[in-house]
Amino acid sequence: MVGTASELLEVTILSIYVSGMATILGSAIGIPLGALIGLKEFGGKGAVKTITYTLYGFPPVLSGLFIYYIFSRAGPLGEFGILFTPTAMILAETLLVIPLVTGITITSVVEVDKAIKDTVKALGATPKQSVLTVMREAWVGLVMACMVGFGRVIAEVGAAYLVGGNIDGKTRVLTTAIMLETRMGHFEWAMALGAVLLTVALVVFFFLRMLQEKEML
Amino acid sequence: MTDAISLKGVSKRYKDVDALKKVSLTVTEGEVFGIVGPSGAGKSTMLRIMDLIEPPTEGELFIRGERMAFSGRKADLARRAIGMVLQKPVVLNRSVANNLAYALMIRGWDEEKAAEKVYAELKRLGLHGRRRKNARILSGGEMQRLCFARATIHDPGILLLDEFAANLDPANVALLEEQVKDYMAQDRARTAVIVTHNMFQARRMCDRVALMWDGEMVEVAGRTDFFESPKDQRTAAFVKGESVY
């Protein structure tokens, strides 16, 4: 139970840490992957895009199950002993962020005006420089991708519960705490934790929006 | 005189449309070569091939006598020796100064040297006061002059201009044409290919002019011959202002 201010602070900080790290890791993988899929021509590109968009609906509990299996004692990476730790939660949530960030990045870079892509090439940019320039032009969309990724994981409960275990003082985050408080009949507490969750999201989105609207110079 | 650009039997096919049909052409070093013709004649496609942006379906491109590949490191390097300005002014979402600096930074210029060059160029363009503003706030004419400066700030020997002054008011057209003439006058070895459907512009600026029609090169002649005694009837009609579109 989240009964004191220090416990609330601990749970809130862990929520931000786990969701933030999952967003950073998922974006570090999803943004380059999305740019590659969006800007490179290759066979089966349409199928890859369809699969990516389909994974938007990847169930958190399935992502949790996958990480649970891999890191369980009998699993292939069981020796790492990270199950029921924040690291396992981060990994499970990263899997949820990757398809979202990849998909939105694909759309963002594809939508950069062809004239800009031609101009950059005509100015003599190498393929790598062209990709980086197009990504910078797609900045608003890329920040949006991170926002959507963060929004998904800060609010999810299935993966965090399955691989974290909702251990008091160790892996309890806001969403798993809300679930627990509701089960125990502490509806006011659960609602209050919900308000904290929304406030955290509001603050993070406020900063991301500022980043998104920053004038490029 | 050396050949600056040479096309040999170049064709370009988009799905079921033949944009270029076995075009051969040589542009000599130091000349301003104009390509005129109605919309859809294949003028811009030819320029995109000359700038190695698009490969031809068949045929070969030579730049200063060297056969060009259209991808890979060699193509990247060859493209860097060419400056191209498109019809639509396209600025990057960054400051006026950084738009200019971009062309130098991708070439690995030292930041300090690039800043000096950009500063001088902006002074000349009269955009110095707005160097820190996002380039998207500029007017159409200012944007296009910035695009021209960005395409030439690294002193390319070959300049490709695709309808570079279309959609601009006469004052901006005059300013841009002056900018092109100034650039060309700085070095007699510089070569320019200007695609335009504006015959008056071709007459004002070009040493030789070619008419393209339906993907084919109809006639290539010196400016005076082209405008005053055209050999092909389509050239004659075009020069008179008939069958323009």
Pair (B9, B36) in one structural domain = yes
Contact B106 A125 (CB under 8 A): yes
CA B153 to chain centre: 15
Number of domains forming the structure of chain A: 1
In the listed set B106, B121, B137, which residue is the last one of a domain according to the structure?
Answer: B137
Pair (B113, B183) in one structural domain = no
Contact A123 B93 (CB under 8 A): no
Would you state the pLDDT for residue B73? Answer: 85
Q: List residues bridging with A10 in a β-sheet.
A: none
Residue B244 belongs to some domain of the structure: no
Q: B130: which chain A residues are within 8 Å (Cβ-Cβ)?
A: none
Contact A217 B106 (CB under 8 A): no
Contact B10, B196 (CB under 8 A): no
- Express each pLDDT in B192-232 by its tens digit: 999 998 888 999 999 999 999 999 999 999 999 999 999 99
Q: Which of B106, B148, B161 to mutate to test the interface with A (most CBs of A within 10 A)?
A: B106
Contact A119 B86 (CB under 8 A): yes
Pair (B23, B109) in one structural domain = no
Pair (B127, B159) in one structural domain = no
Question: In CATH, what number is assigned to the domain containing residue B169?
Answer: 3.40.50.300
Residue ranges in B73-139 assigned as alpha helix (H): 73-80, 96-105, 111-125
- Express each pLDDT in B83-101 by its tens digit: 999 888 999 999 999 999 9
In the listed set B103, B137, B171, which residue is the last one of a domain according to the structure?
Answer: B137
Contact B92 A116 (CB under 8 A): yes
For β-strands B17-28 and B3-14, DSSP reports them as: antiparallel
Would you state the pLDDT for residue B194? Answer: 96
Residue B81 belongs to some domain of the structure: yes
Contact B93 A216 (CB under 8 A): yes
Pair (B66, B175) in one structural domain = yes
ipTM here: 0.83
Residue B195, domain extent: 3-91+138-239
Among residues B138, B199, B190, B182, which one has the least CA distance to residue B160?
B190
Percent of chain A whose predicted confidence (pLDDT) is above 90: 90
Contact B84 A122 (CB under 8 A): yes
Pair (B73, B142) in one structural domain = yes
Average per-residue pLDDT for chain A: 94
Pair (B24, B129) in one structural domain = no
Quick one: pLDDT band at residue A1, thresholds 50, 70, 90? low
Spatial separation of the C-alpha atoms in residues B70 and A142, rounded to whole Å: 31
B76 closest CB neighbour out of A126, A136, A139? A126
Token readout for A45 is 């590109």
Residue B84 belongs to some domain of the structure: yes
Q: Is the pLDDT of residue A61 over 70?
A: yes
Contact A115 B88 (CB under 8 A): yes
For residue A189, the tally of other CB atoms under 10 A from its CB is 19
Residue A199 belongs to some domain of the structure: yes
Contact A124 B80 (CB under 8 A): yes
Average per-residue pLDDT for chain B: 92
Would you state the pLDDT for residue B77? Answer: 86
- What integer is the mean pLDDT of A73-92? 95
Contact B103 A124 (CB under 8 A): yes
B106 CB within 8 Å of a chain A CB:
yes
B93 closest CB neighbour out of A119, A124, A137? A137
Which chain A residue has its CA at the smallest distance from B88's CA? A115
CA distance A102 to chain B (A): 23
Would you state the pLDDT for residue B245? Answer: 47
Number of domains forming the structure of chain B: 2
**Residues A120-123: contacts with CB within 8 Å, 24+ apart?**
A120/B92, A121/B53, A121/B79, A122/B51, A122/B53, A122/B79, A122/B82, A122/B84, A122/B86, A122/B151, A123/B84, A123/B102, A123/B103, A123/B106, A123/B150, A123/B151
B88 CB within 8 Å of a chain A CB:
yes
Residue B96 belongs to some domain of the structure: yes
Residue B116 belongs to some domain of the structure: yes
pLDDT tens, per residue, chain B with 245 residues: 689 999 999 999 998 899 999 999 999 999 999 999 988 899 999 999 999 999 999 999 999 999 999 988 888 888 899 999 988 899 999 999 999 999 999 999 999 999 999 999 999 888 999 999 999 999 999 999 999 999 999 999 999 999 988 878 899 899 999 999 999 999 999 999 999 988 889 999 999 999 999 999 999 999 999 999 999 999 998 888 775 54
Q: Is the pLDDT of residue A77 over 50?
A: yes
Count interface pairs A-B at CB distance under 8 A. Answer: 61
Identify the three-state secondary structure at position B10. Answer: strand
Residue B203 belongs to some domain of the structure: yes
Q: B103: which chain A residues are within 8 Å (Cβ-Cβ)?
A: 123-124
The DSSP secondary structure of B170-198, one letter per residue, reads: HHHHHHHHHHHHHHHHT-TT-EEEEE-S-
Pair (B213, B150) in one structural domain = yes
Q: A215: which chain B residues are within 8 Å (Cβ-Cβ)?
A: 134
Residue A127 belongs to some domain of the structure: yes
CA B215 to chain centre: 18
B137 CB within 8 Å of a chain A CB:
no
CA distance A48 to chain B (A): 24
Contacts of residue B128, Cβ cutoff 8 Å, sequence gap at least 6? B119, B122
Would you state the pLDDT for residue A6? Answer: 87
Identify the three-state secondary structure at position B160. Answer: strand
Residue A59, domain extent: 5-209
Residue B245 belongs to some domain of the structure: no
Percent of chain A whose predicted confidence (pLDDT) is above 70: 97
Contact B104, B121 (CB under 8 A): no
Contact B51 A126 (CB under 8 A): no
Pair (B120, B142) in one structural domain = no
Question: In CATH, what number is assigned to the domain containing residue A51?
Answer: 1.10.3720.10
- What integer is the mean pLDDT of A29-43? 95
Which chain B residue has its CA at the smallest distance from A126's CA? B76
